[in-house]
Structure 1
Amino acid sequence: MSNSHKSQITIDVELDVNRVPEKINWNATDGGISNEAAKAIMLGVWDEKTKNTLRIDLWTKDMLMDEMKQFYHQTILSLADSFERATDEKNMAADMRDFAAHFADKLDLIKK
């Protein structure tokens, strides 16, 4: 008997007639997420054979430009945190956070 556990995360995308996302909902039952709405997703999958990242980037047509800018800023910060946890490369993670601050400054994301 195996002690392994299988978990499932699903993403449902509703498209308009031109195949542009109108609605995105996701589920992660182990995390208590059920049919949660989202305006954008970024999903990266490492392909070991090609040593390349496969990506899916989707956003709904009602996502505002300011929301997209914040989404990218927060994604860069999340990547820095994740990179540091995965590699213990504190200096490079700090550089990534510096870039995120520069990104936010250039786009006026942080109100002074």
Structure 2
Amino acid sequence: MHKSTISIDVVLDDNKVPDHISWKASDSSADDAQAAKAMMVAFWDSADKSALRMDLWTKDMMVDEMGDFFYQTLSSMSDTLKRATNYGDLAEDLKAFSKTFNEKFRAKQIAENKAD
């Protein structure tokens, strides 16, 4: 059996706010750790039937980047749902929601920028 390891390093500032996030996977072709401004990790606890989540972002993560991050994450979750369950209709619903979310997020950003 093959074992793969994913390492995540988080550097915190004095107030314990993430300053830098990096990750490395043992099966990756990248030699060096990859920098990231945000991460979402979820594990399924089958005993409790609940998701255990860890969401972190660095203090230099911009709001527009967060919107893109959520949009792309939701969109990719729809692809995973389809592959895992073959429920194409529900996967399409989630993808449509992610597109609507992205449009609303961008509209909100434009409105806020005009107000400034």
1:1-40 alignment runs, 5 A limit: 4-33=1-30, 34-40=32-38
Q: Secondary structure at the match of 2:27?
A: helix
Q: How does 1:78-93 map to 2 (within 5 A)?
A: 78-93=76-91
Aligned to 1:66: 64
Q: Secondary structure at the match of 2:42?
A: strand
Q: How far has the Cα of 1:48 moved from its partner?
A: 1.0
What is the TM-score of this pair, normalised by structure 2?
0.88
2:100 partner SS:
helix
Q: TM-score, structure 1 length as denominator?
A: 0.91
For residues 77-100 of structure 1, the C-alpha deviation after alignment (integer angstroms, 9 at most, x for no partner) is: 010000100000000000001101
Instruction: State the alpha-carbon separation in 1 of the partners of residues 19 and 97 from structure 2.
Output: 32
Instruction: Give the paired residue count.
Output: 106
Q: 2:51 aligns with which of 32, 53, 67?
A: 53
For structure 2, the residue ranges without an aligned partner over 5 or more in a row are 108-116
Which one has a larger percent helix, Structure 1 or Structure 2?
A: 2
Q: Percent identity?
A: 46
How far 1:108 sits from its partner (Å)? 2.0
* Aligned position for 2:114: none
Pick aligned residue for 1:43 from 41, 44, 51: 41
Could you list the structure 1 runs, at least 4 aligned residues long, displaced by more than 6 angstroms after superposition.
none
Matched residues in 1 for 2:29 and 2:56: separation? 23
The root-mean-square deviation of aligned C-alpha atoms, in Å, is 1.0
